[in-house]
């Protein structure tokens, strides 16, 4: 039958595809699976991404997370049906999420506007523990298609990823993959150091100067060759080009991400009932003097109107522990981090991810007075008995101890962070606070949907 051509044209729909928990310590990486999926989808006619693939890091203080607790999201417009899309995604997951420990989850939402309920669920997943039951219930109510492997725990992250459209702060990462995973990653360190120097502050966390450590290259068996993080797609691309030619390079893709934004610490922690595995920030007063314990970990207590909690700066945080040790009783500070579960031996502990001194107490040191006759040192004759000079014997009741102010090692309103090597994916590095101030946020950055040419290189 003859139909008008306008009727024959199929309508294209907008889809949000969330994938999580396909990786494991034995080799797979969800970003690689996403890379392969994008490669397949871009070959389909009338399919285009409306945003860079999103790499969403979720609450890093959950112990059963996969390596980086990452959720991957594709937002696209296509003439493919939801069923076809679902089938393609499922087959890619089956092909790549083969580890016995990959409790993969796939969720697909159809529509331009992500429902509020999904957005709310996603906000919670940044700092607390969201349940699989809750994720399932929301997906049913909002009509998402979903699919999980094994324990299906990845459905939580898949849904949470869809709900985080990176509407406030965000960064980019170019991740390059390798052809052969059994070939060792080799890259000249001096080139990375040069690239880091030439591209900062538009790139971040490429190289830890203090500890002389390269941060762009992983060490595991996964297909990632390297990852470069930065403020704009152009910045990460140009930094990458400085490292070419690269041995064993398969291809690369640029992701938009909440890495380096500190998004998990926006939540206010409640010290009256701190919940294990939650992340967030809290203000309080230092209520016990910081002390070093076995293993080089530093502990102190923090108190506010709601309650009191031990705080810890663990050994791997490096020089950060010296800053924490410089705190005094009574200092008013803002701290952030994750609540560690209590054990039979220890109460719940706040694992510190930053400290900001708000109001530092004055710290005084008392010294015996100098003799007015010979400038020798006087010593106390006992309470209210005055002082006597050790040198000439001069006695006086009218002199008193000298008080001198001890110079504090910390500065008010300054942010103190662990060493770079101890940063989490979500940790907002110092240079981003400074960059933000000088550039008023992301205004200069390509907005969602504006694609750089060659943002993906497929094999």
**Under rule CB under 5 A, residue 389 binds Zn ion:** yes
**Under rule CB under 5 A, residue 371 binds Zn ion:** yes
Rank residues 81 and 373 by Cβ distance to Zn ion and give the closer one. 373
Of 21, 43, 187, 3, nearest in space to 104 by CA: 21
**Under rule CB under 5 A, residue 386 binds Zn ion:** no
Q: Which stretch binds Zn ion (CB under 5 A): 154-162, 239-247, 336-344, 367-375?
A: 367-375
Q: How far is CA 8 from the centre of its chain?
A: 48
CB-CB contact of 37 with 87 (8 Å): no
**Under rule CB under 5 A, residue 374 binds Zn ion:** yes
Q: Which stretch binds Zn ion (CB under 5 A): 10-18, 104-112, 270-278, 363-371?
A: 363-371
**Under rule CB under 5 A, residue 435 binds Zn ion:** no
DSSP one-letter string for 382-408: STTS-EEETTT--EESS---EEEEEPP
**Under rule CB under 5 A, residue 376 binds Zn ion:** yes
Which tokens belong to 269? 């922690």
Rank residues 211 and 373 by Cβ distance to Zn ion and give the closer one. 373
Rank residues 356 and 371 by Cβ distance to Zn ion and give the closer one. 371
Contacts of 68 (CB under 8 A, 6+ apart): 57, 60, 425
Residue 416 gets which letter from DSSP?
A: B
Contacts of 166 (CB under 8 A, 6+ apart): 54, 56, 256, 257, 258, 448
Smallest distance from the beta carbon of 385 to Zn ion, in angstroms? 17
Of 60, 247, 298, nearest in space to 157 by CA: 60
Rank residues 46 and 374 by Cβ distance to Zn ion and give the closer one. 374
**Under rule CB under 5 A, residue 392 binds Zn ion:** yes
Smallest distance from the beta carbon of 395 to Zn ion, in angstroms? 10
Which tokens belong to 348? 């719940």
Give the Cα separation of 292 and 299 in Å (integer): 7
Of 60, 76, 129, 70, nearest in space to 104 by CA: 70
Rank residues 307 and 369 by Cβ distance to Zn ion and give the closer one. 369
Residue 219 gets which letter from DSSP?
A: -
Rank residues 379 and 459 by Cβ distance to Zn ion and give the closer one. 379
Smallest distance from the beta carbon of 371 to Zn ion, in angstroms? 3
Q: Residue 285: beta bridge partners?
A: 303, 332
Give the Cα separation of 428 and 423 in Å (integer): 8
**Contact letters for Zn ion, residues 393-422 (x by CB under 5 A):** -x----------------------------
Number of residues that bind Zn ion (CB under 5 A): 8
Rank residues 175 and 371 by Cβ distance to Zn ion and give the closer one. 371
**Burial (CB count within 10 angstroms: exposed 0-12, middle 13-18, buried 19+), residue 370:** middle
Q: Which stretch binds Zn ion (CB under 5 A): 130-138, 214-222, 387-395, 403-411?
A: 387-395
Rank residues 42 and 392 by Cβ distance to Zn ion and give the closer one. 392
Q: Which stretch binds Zn ion (CB under 5 A): 243-251, 306-314, 327-335, 384-392?
A: 384-392
Owner of token pair 């390596």: 67
- Contacts with Zn ion by CB under 5 A lie at 371, 373-374, 376, 389, 391-392, 394
């Amino acid at each position: 039958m003859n139909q008008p051509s306008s009727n024959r044209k199929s309508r294209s729909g907008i889809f949000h595809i969330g994938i999580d928990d396909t990786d494991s310590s034995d080799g797979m990486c969800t970003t690689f699976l996403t890379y392969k999926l994008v490669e397949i989808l871009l070959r389909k006619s009338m399919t285009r991404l409306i945003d860079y693939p999103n790499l969403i890091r979720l609450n890093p203080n959950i112990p059963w997370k996969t390596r980086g607790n990452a959720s991957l999201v594709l937002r696209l417009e296509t003439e493919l049906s939801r069923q076809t899309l679902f089938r393609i995604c499922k087959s890619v997951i089956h092909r790549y999420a083969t580890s016995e420990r990959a409790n993969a989850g796939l969720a697909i939402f159809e529509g331009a506007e992500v429902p509020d309920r999904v957005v709310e669920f996603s906000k919670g997943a940044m700092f607390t523990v969201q349940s699989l039951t809750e994720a399932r219930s929301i997906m049913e109510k909002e009509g998402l298609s979903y699919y999980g492997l094994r324990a299906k725990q990845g459905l939580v992250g898949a849904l949470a990823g869809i709900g985080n459209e990176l509407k406030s702060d965000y960064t980019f990462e170019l991740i390059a993959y390798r052809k052969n995973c059994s070939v060792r990653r080799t890259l000249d360190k001096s080139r990375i150091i040069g690239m880091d120097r030439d591209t900062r502050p538009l790139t971040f966390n490429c190289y830890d100067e203090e500890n002389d450590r390269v941060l762009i290259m992983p060490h595991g068996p996964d297909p990632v060759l390297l990852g470069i993080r930065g403020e704009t797609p152009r910045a990460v691309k140009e930094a990458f080009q400085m490292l070419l030619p690269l041995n064993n390079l398969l291809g690369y893709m640029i992701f938009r991400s909440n890495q380096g934004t500190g998004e998990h610490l926006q939540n206010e922690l409640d010290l009256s009932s701190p919940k294990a595995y939650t992340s967030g920030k809290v203000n309080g007063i230092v209520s016990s003097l910081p002390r070093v314990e076995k293993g080089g970990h530093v502990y102190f207590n923090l108190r506010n109107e709601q309650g009191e909690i031990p705080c810890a700066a663990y050994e791997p945080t490096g020089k950060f522990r010296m800053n924490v040790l410089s705190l005094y009783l009574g200092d008013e500070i803002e701290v952030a981090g994750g609540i560690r579960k209590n054990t039979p031996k220890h109460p719940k502990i706040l694992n510190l991810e930053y400290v900001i001194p708000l109001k530092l107490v004055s710290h005084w040191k008392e010294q015996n007075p100098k003799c007015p006759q010979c400038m020798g040192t006087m010593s106390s004759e006992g309470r209210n008995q005055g002082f006597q000079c050790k040198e000439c014997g001069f006695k006086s009741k009218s002199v008193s101890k000298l008080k001198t102010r001890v110079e504090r090692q910390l500065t008010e309103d300054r942010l103190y962070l662990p060493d770079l090597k101890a940063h989490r994916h979500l940790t907002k590095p110092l240079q981003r606070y400074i960059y933000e101030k000088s550039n008023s946020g992301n205004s200069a950055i390509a907005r969602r949907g504006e694609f750089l040419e060659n943002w993906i290189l497929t094999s």
